[in-house]
């Protein structure tokens, strides 16, 4: 049984590493996240929860819909900024005037 999600009022199903949706734009967004290794039922459900969480959607659980949990952030501020000096973060931080 494929995993079903609802995002922006549109329903989509994920089965065998591929998304199916009536809305082409949403299908393209979901297909960009698709995990082709998700072939088991548990892996499909985990991936569907992740995709629904990324876009603030819902996951079908039986006959009811429940809000998908938000996934952990992929990039954190601590990756770019020193812990004690968040003002030193940024792409061109080396150009800032030192005090």
Residue 86 CB contacts under 8 Å (≥ 6 apart), including other chains: 77
pLDDT 10s digits, 31-87: 999 888 888 889 999 999 999 999 999 999 888 999 998 888 777 767 766 666 656
Q: What average pLDDT does range 6-24 have in this prediction?
A: 92
Q: Are 66 and 59 in contact (CB under 8 A)?
A: yes
DSSP count for the chain of H helices, then E strands: 2, 5
């Amino acid at each position: 049984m494929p995993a079903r999600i609802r995002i922006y009022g549109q329903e989509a199903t994920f089965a065998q590493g591929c998304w199916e949706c009536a809305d082409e734009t949403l299908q393209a967004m979901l297909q960009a996240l698709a995990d082709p290794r998700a072939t088991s039922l548990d892996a499909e459900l985990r991936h569907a929860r992740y995709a629904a969480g990324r876009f603030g959607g819902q996951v079908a659980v039986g006959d009811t819909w429940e809000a998908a949990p938000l996934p952990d952030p992929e990039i954190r501020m601590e990756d770019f900024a020193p812990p004690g000096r968040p003002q030193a973060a940024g792409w061109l931080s080396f150009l800032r005037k030192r005090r």
